[in-house]
Every structure is written in C-alpha cells, then in structure tokens.
Copies of this chain bind each other. A is one copy, B any other.
Amino acid sequence: MHRISCQTCPMQKCALFTPHSEEQKEFLEDFKSGELSVEPGTQILLEGSSAPQIYTVLEGMGLRDKTLENGRRQVLNFVLPGDFLGLQASVMGEMMHSIEAVTEMRLCVFRREDLWTLFRTQPALAYDVTWIAAAEEHFLGETVATLGQRDGTERVAWALLKLYQRLRGLGLEKAGQVPLPFRQQDLADALGLSLVHTNKTLSRLRSDDMADWSDGKLSVPDIQALAELAVTDPEALPRRPFL
C-alpha cells in the first residue's frame, strides 16, 4: 500500500466536497502523517482513551457508538468516506464514544498536536474544522428529534433515507442501489429499537415498495414517498468542507 498525495486525493474529485486551494493542499500534504488500513471489526478510536490521532475516512464504512454503564449500545452515527474522526478527543482531551470499522477501511492520519498549527497558520481550514463540528452537531440534533418524536416506522424510514442520500452524494449509487454493509442490529441500536421490531419494520417497508435493504444493498424506488413516511424533506445534502 502506498501513500496517496493530497494533490491527487480521490476526495478532491467528489462533487460533494468543496475543493482546497493550492496552498491548502500543500499544508495538508505536511499535516498528513500517513495512512492506515484496517480490517473489519477493528476499533479505530476507543471510548475513554485520549487518541493521539485524527483521521479522515478515505474508503470503507464504520460505526460511531457508545456503550452505557448497563451494557446497552447506542450507535451514534454511521461513518462514511469523507468523515472526520477524533476531533472530540483532540479538543476535549478524551473520546466519549468508540469508532469501529465495519468493512475494510482506509484512513488518512493526522497528528493531533499539529491541529494547533493548523489553527495558527490556516484560519480558513480552522474554519472548516469548526464547520464540520457544527454540521455534526446539527446531524445529532436531527437524530435526537428522531428518537424523541418519531415512531418506529418513521425512524427506520428516516434513517434509510439519510443513508441513501449520503451514499448517493458520495457517488456510490450503481443501478439504483447503494452499498449498505451494516447489520440490522446496528440500525436497531442507532434508532433505539429492538432487533425484532427493526426487522419487521424493514420487511414492511420492503413489501410496501418504500425501501429495500437486503444483501448489504439499499434501494429506494420513490424518495419522495419515503421522505413523507419519514416526516422529513427529501432535500439533497449541501456541499461540505473536508480535510
């Protein structure tokens, strides 16, 4: 495995992300301390530890989760390419959730101490980091509203819609299908539903032609209809910065 230059980073090409200036690419080239490839099941960041690294996901998917004292697990978000990992640990000193690889993943690695240099010398990139944190906060706010106010069917519909939109934005759609290599248990833990109920809800959505998630692939025949079921707007995702 060889190192990819930021100059030719595949992320740059994806229309979802705002491109960097020449100067920024040069800085990031330095900022990047290496690459990391991990197998499915690997814990990338651990709850309670103070990770010395920050990552940007280049390829593969994972899960952000948090386990309570009583052992129950909450999935906070699904980790997709372009996601920025470890900022919490960097600014606050400690991760409060874990990140686990679900598929094989390739990560761009940054050194935590260099983040301060970024803030001193690259205000525009610092602003981007804040943008990313605010966007994450915004998404978690939507999740809170979902768990608090939507019933089971609406939750599942909402989650599938969001994932479909995100994956499509990344250009991963092929023949009307996007890859979604998670387990039903993961979705259940993300939505605060039992596995059994999640399974039955998914079956219903499938037979109602609202959304079909099977064999690790998701297809949505009618986005508008699914969005209505999810009590949400089917708005496309905005362009966003990345590192």
Closest to A64 in B: B141
Pairwise interchain contact B133-A137, C-beta atoms closer than 8 A: yes
Could you say which residues of chain B place their CB within 8 Å of the CB of A148? 74, 147, 189-192
Closest to A127 in B: B119
Could you say which residues of chain B place their CB within 8 Å of the CB of A136? 137
Could you tell me the dominant secondary structure of chain A's interface residues?
A: helix
With an 8 A cutoff between CB atoms, is A138 at the interface? yes
This chain: how many copies in the complex? 2
Closest to A118 in B: B123
With an 8 A cutoff between CB atoms, is A70 at the interface? yes
Could you say which residues of chain B place their CB within 8 Å of the CB of A76? 141, 144-145
Q: What residues make up the interface of A, taking CB atoms closer than 8 Å to B?
A: 66, 68-70, 72-74, 76, 87-88, 91-92, 96-97, 116, 119-120, 123-124, 126-127, 129-131, 133-138, 140-145, 147-150, 189-192, 231-233, 238
Nearest first, the 10 closest Cβ-Cβ pairs linking A and B are A148-B192, A147-B147, A133-B133, A140-B140, A74-B145, A72-B149, A119-B123, A137-B137, A91-B131, A120-B123
